[in-house]
C-alpha cells in the first residue's frame, strides 16, 4: 500500500475571528495541536502543515508535534494557494494526499480511516466523507490529480476537482457532523467549547 500524506491547512488570517484561531484552546491544547493529534492517530503516513499568517507562533506548535511544515508566501490569495503549497512538497512516491482544514479539530481518526479505506478498496481518485448529503473534509486526492491542482481556477477552489472529474468521485457516508464543522467566529468557538466542557 502506498504512502498517504496529510496536508493540514493552517495559513489563513482568521479575519472573522479577529485573532489566530489555530491557537484557540480545546481542553488544554490549541486547535492546531488537536487537529494534528487526530491526524497522527489515523492511518496517515506523513503530515505537512501549511503555514502563512502568524507563522512564528504556529511554528512553535508544529515543531513540538514533530511534523513537517511548508510556508505559503501567497496565503492571502486563499485556501487553494495553501493546498498548492502543500502539494508542491509531496514526494513522488506518495500515493494520495488528504486535505484537512486546520479549524476542524473534531474530525476523528475513524472518519479519516474510513476515507482511506474506501480509497484503497475502490481505487477511486477523489474520496470524501458526506453527512446529511453535504460533502465535508478530509478530501482524499489520488496522485494522478495532484498536477491538476495547479490548473484550477482560484475562485472555484479545490472542490472544482470533484466537478471536473465527477466519474472518479466516491462519497463515503457518515453520521459524523464534525466533517462539516469549522470555526470562523469567536461566538461559534464559545458555543462549541461550552458544549464539550
* pLDDT tens, residue by residue, 82-136: 999 999 999 888 999 999 999 888 899 999 999 999 999 998 999 999 988 899 8
Q: How far, rounded to the nearest angstrom, does the alpha carbon of residue 127 sit from its chain's CA centroid?
A: 13
Residue 197's pLDDT is: 47
Counting Cβ atoms within 10 Å, is residue 55 exposed (0-12), middle (13-18) or buried (19+)?
Answer: middle
Helix, coil or strand: residue 148: helix
What is the CB neighbour count within 10 angstroms for residue 112?
Answer: 25
Residue 18's pLDDT is: 59
pLDDT in tens, 63-89: 988 899 999 999 989 889 999 999 999
Residue 16 banded pLDDT, cuts 50, 70, 90: low
State the Cα torsion 46-52-55-58 to the nearest 10°: -50
Residue 116's pLDDT is: 96
Strands (E), 18-132: 25-26, 29-30, 46-51, 68-71, 94-101, 126-131
Which residues lie closer than 8 Å to 5 by C-beta, 6 or more apart? 44, 45, 46, 47, 48, 90, 91, 94, 96, 97, 98
Q: Please tell me which residue, 197 or 87, carries the higher pLDDT value.
A: 87
Q: What is the mean pLDDT of residues 8-28?
A: 77
Amino acid at each position: 500500500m502506498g504512502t498517504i500524506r496529510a496536508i493540514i491547512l493552517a495559513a489563513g488570517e482568521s479575519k472573522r475571528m479577529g485573532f489566530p484561531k489555530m491557537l484557540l484552546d480545546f481542553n488544554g491544547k490549541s486547535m492546531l495541536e488537536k487537529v494534528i493529534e487526530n491526524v497522527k492517530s489515523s492511518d496517515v503516513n506523513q503530515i505537512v502543515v501549511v503555514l502563512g499568517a502568524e507563522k512564528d507562533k504556529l511554528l512553535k506548535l508544529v515543531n513540538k508535534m514533530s511534523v513537517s511544515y511548508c510556508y505559503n508566501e501567497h496565503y492571502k490569495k486563499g485556501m487553494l494557494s495553501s493546498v498548492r503549497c502543500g502539494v508542491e512538497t509531496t514526494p513522488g512516491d506518495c500515493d494520495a494526499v488528504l486535505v484537512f482544514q486546520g479549524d476542524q479539530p473534531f474530525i476523528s481518526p475513524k472518519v479519516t480511516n474510513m476515507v482511506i479505506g474506501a480509497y484503497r478498496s475502490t481505487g477511486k481518485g477523489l474520496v470524501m466523507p458526506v453527512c446529511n448529503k453535504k460533502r465535508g473534509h478530509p478530501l482524499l486526492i489520488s496522485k494522478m490529480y495532484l498536477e491538476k491542482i495547479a490548473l484550477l481556477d482560484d475562485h472555484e477552489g479545490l472542490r472544482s476537482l470533484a466537478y471536473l472529474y465527477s466519474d472518479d468521485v466516491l462519497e463515503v457516508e457518515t453520521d459524523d457532523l464534525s466533517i462539516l464543522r469549522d470555526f470562523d467566529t469567536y461566538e461559534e468557538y464559545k458555543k462549541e467549547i461550552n458544549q464539550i466542557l
